Amino acid sequence: MKKDLISITDFSKDEYLKIMKLAAEFEENPNQDLLKGKVIATLFFEPSTRTRLSFETAINRLGGKIIGFADPDSSSASKGETLHDTIKMVSNYADLIVMRHPLEGAARYAAEVSPVPVINAGDGANQHPTQTLLDMYSILKTQGSLDNLNIFLVGDLKYGRTVHSLLMAMSEFENPIFNFVAPPVLEMPDEYKIFLREKGIKYYEHSEFTDIISAADIIYMTRVQKERFSDPIEYEQVKNIYILRNSMLEKTRPNVKILHPLPRVNEIHTDVDTSEKAYYFTQARNGVFTREAIISHIMNLK
- Binding of ligand CP by 57 (CB under 6 A): no
Binding residues among 118-137 for ligand CP as defined by CB under 6 A: 122, 131
**18 near ligand CP (CB under 6 A):** no
CA 191, chain centre distance (Å): 19
Options 46-54, 77-85, 165-173, 249-257: segment touching ligand CP (CB under 6 A): 46-54
Nearer to ligand CP, 151 or 262 (CB): 262
- Binding flag, residue 262, ligand CP (CB under 6 A): yes
Q: For residues 114 and 145, what is the distance between their CA atoms, to the nearest angstrom? A: 36
Residue selected from 3, 50, 141, 206 as contacting ligand CP according to rule CB under 6 A: 50
Q: Which residues fall within 8 angstroms of residue 294, CB to CB, at 6 or more apart?
A: 5, 19, 119, 130, 133
Residues 188-247 that bind ligand CP (CB under 6 A): none
**Binding flag, residue 282, ligand CP (CB under 6 A):** no
Q: CA–CA distance from 176 to each of 65, 147, 182, 212 (Å)? A: 40, 7, 19, 17
Angle between helices 280-298 and 13-28 (to 10 degrees): 110
**Is residue 183 part of the contact set for ligand CP (CB under 6 A)?**
no
Binding residue for ligand CP (CB under 6 A) from 160, 176, 183, 261? 261
- How far CA 85 is from CA of 68, 77, 82, 148, in Å, comes to 15, 9, 5, 46
Of 48 and 60, which has the nearer Cβ to ligand CP? 48
Residue 12 touching ligand CP (CB under 6 A) = no
CB atoms within 10 A of CB 104: 13
**Does residue 48 touch ligand CP according to CB under 6 A?**
yes
- Closest to ligand CP by CB, 132 or 296: 132
**How long is the chain?**
302
Q: Which residues are catalytic?
A: 50-51, 79, 100, 128
215 contact partners, CB below 8 Å, separation of at least 6: 150, 179, 253
Question: Rounded to an integer, what distance in angstroms lies between the CA atom of residue 250 and that of residue 67?
Answer: 47
CB nearer to ligand CP: pick between 161 and 203: 161
Shortest distance, position 19 Cβ to ligand CP, whole Å? 17
Residues making contact with ligand CP (CB under 6 A) = 48-51, 122, 131, 261-263
